[in-house]
Amino acid sequence: MDVRDDIKQLENEICLMRRELHQIPETGFETKQTLDYVVNKLTGFGYDNFDFSLAKNSVVVQLRVNDEPTSIGFRSDMDALPLKEETKRSFASVNGNSHACGHDGHMAALLGLCKYVMDHKEHIKKNITFVFQPAEEGPGGAKVMIENGLFQLYPMECIIGVHVMGEVEAGRIACKAGPMMARNGELFVNITGKGTHGATPHLGSDAIVAGSAFVSALQSITSRNINPLHSSVVTIGTFHAGSAENIIAETCAMKGTIRSFQDEAYEKIKERIQEIAEGVSKTYNVTIDAKIVDYYFVVDNDEKLYKLLEDVLQDDLQVVEPKMVAEDFSFYQKEIPGLFYYIGTHTDQYDQNLHSAKFDFDETVLLHVIETNVRLLEGMHVYD
């Protein structure tokens, strides 16, 4: 992608901001140092209308050019992962957390856009709202900000977000219309039977046998209860039971995840999990408590916004397959039209995927994010 010269001039500053943010990774809503950094930079760019009220350690700021209530929205997440970094870079984090999901890059790119539009304010024809949101990795900062009145206080025509992606060639913009990332929930299961000596199993109720049957039965949901064209996943990731080789286990605990691109399929999975739990309970004479916690909705890209992205990027846009990963940007898209796209980071040198302790990337790809967002603003007649 060709990047205009006045965006290229931001390269050193974007690189420095990303590296400075990379050194202060914070998790969840506990992003105070990160927030202070962002606000300090925005202040230096000329912004002063900060709103910290919508979620702990969040900030919303606007570039206002008229008295119209509506605006175009851009969002960046701010939080990191509780993962010890292993990149061995000079700016690697040392506090036990890591920006292994690239949110440092998202912030640097959005800060770069904030600076660019402020420096070119005379060309801006609509108000722009910038949302810096904590807790994307959980429990979901977007939901909190919406519940606290984000779109009532800042009506937006649409909102745009981006995510680095290690599976896409560095500098490439990748996206698709419609569902791009899955709806997800977490499954917590506790099985209680009756413990006894391993030599007298008839006197107890084996939680391991019941748990094994439960896990096996779950696999029939996606293969027999869900339309084969509606991609869905049910995965049990942990299974803990037993304390000794000669004792029938009295309890079993497991955790898993459910994912789908269709709300109807997702709800059907939840329904079948409870039915299977009831059936296994009766069959194996145990008690099963299966709790499902809903997290994020489907990231569902607005058709008109995607068409605009196609128009402004043309051959520079790569169409991607949907992924079963999840993103709380989906909460915004439940309320207003939204566009979420990837910026590729993959090179021979930077070949690690997201959530790896070794994930890293070349910051120059972030210039392509700013270029893309400016082109989108041009396409919406916000920037001339």
Active site residues: 77, 137
Q: DSSP assignment of 295-314, as one string?
A: ----EEE-HHHHHHHHHHHG
Amino acid present at 180: M
Can you tell me the distance from the alpha carbon of 12 to that of 119, in angstroms, rounded to the nearest whole number?
A: 17
Q: Is the peptide bond before 139 cis (omega within 30 degrees of 0)?
A: yes
Question: In sequence order, what E strands does the chain have?
Answer: 59-63, 71-77, 128-133, 156-169, 173-175, 178-181, 183-192, 196-197, 232-241, 247-248, 251-260, 287-294, 299-301, 317-319, 338-346
Angle, helices 103-119 vs 11-22, to 10°: value is: 140
Can you tell me the distance from the alpha carbon of 27 to that of 32, in angstroms, rounded to the nearest whole number?
A: 10
